[in-house]
Amino acid sequence: MSSDPNGEAGSESGEVPAVRGRQRIVLTQISSRAWEHPADRGALTALRELRGFDEVIRSLTGLWNERAWRLEFLGGAIRVDHRQYPRVHRLFAEAASVLDLAELPELYVQNDRSINSMCVGMASPFIVVNSGSLELLDDDELRAMLGHELGHLMSGHAVYRTMAELLTGWAVRLAWLPIGSLLLRAIGAALQEWWRKAELSADRAELLAGQDPSASLRVNMKLAGGGDLSQVDTAAFLEQAAEYERAGDLRDSLIKLRTLAGRTHPIPVARAAELRRWIESGEYQSVLAGDYPRRGDDRNASMTDDVKAAAQSYREAFARSEDPLIGLLRKVGDGASGVGEWVGAGAGRVRDWMKGPNGTADDDPRD
């Protein structure tokens, strides 16, 4: 993986100074659609079709939960600015500048020695980073991590995750029905699958914010093994990812499925492999060259196109997988299309259900 990813900027792109003599391209007016994984984008587009629902959720959550969250960190963490943690503030501003985010959200550092961060809130989202991340990540790695959380914020993941959890809550009320328990499990599994794809989206935003593939890879390596990489080899780490995907027999495949159950984040080796795949696809370089959707075009997004892209991404993953169970399924028959379309269109079905029998659900672009 090259550590010098810079391509030619488009006519709307600028440059900002980067550490160690590199230049990072400012992605002027970039839409979050540029980095969203197809499966994530399909779900987000469908949820955004529930016009007004997101505003209601923002308002209700902001009244109590978000105020409580903010007060908790205001009282028990350090708010970052040019006076407090100036190094972190500088890196945060650099990541936001590259993603063309004019107004910085609040950023807090909490006392936790693990490597982690999160985006919290809906009406006025803010970001929290663990003190362990400051200690164990270098500047390029920390900038990448902060870019990851900015990606969550700009995609609206917190808003739509809360919407999805509300829908899950409604399903819980139907658990007493004969099919209620099965329905609840299916919805829970689908939401976890969506959030894992949302994490892959944020990983891409992380890469675009830092524009240093090696730094993003090191973040995943440190998430897996801690802060000291002096005895860790990059090539060997990527070999682990390949071995994890293809090794073993059907028993290992079933164990991996059980391991994923209940997880909202992909495992580090899988995240590293997926990010590398995105780079090798050429999409990353295209964005740096100025070929990306702008925010002004988001209103024209087609849910039909996004659902099709989600289904296609599952078909492609199914086709290239070296997992023994997937290999067996390929021999039995190509089930990727049906699975992919079901997952990709799930949020659309929820949207249509909420509009009711008199709704006007259709596949036209948004107004």
Distances (CA, A) of 88 to 62, 221, 222, 325: 27, 21, 18, 44
All residues at 6 or more sequence positions from 323 whose CB lies less than 8 Å from its CB, including other chains: 245, 246, 253, 256
d(CA 166, CA 177): 19
- CB atoms near residue 176 (< 10 Å): 8
Distances (CA, A) of 256 to 28, 249, 367: 40, 11, 42
Q: Are 27 and 287 in contact (CB under 8 A)?
A: yes
- Alpha helices by DSSP H, listed for 34-85, are 38-48, 53-63, 65-76
Backbone angles phi, psi at 317, to 5 degrees: -65, -40
* Catalytic residue IDs: 149
Q: Taking the mean position of all CA atoms in its chain, how far away is CA 113? A: 23
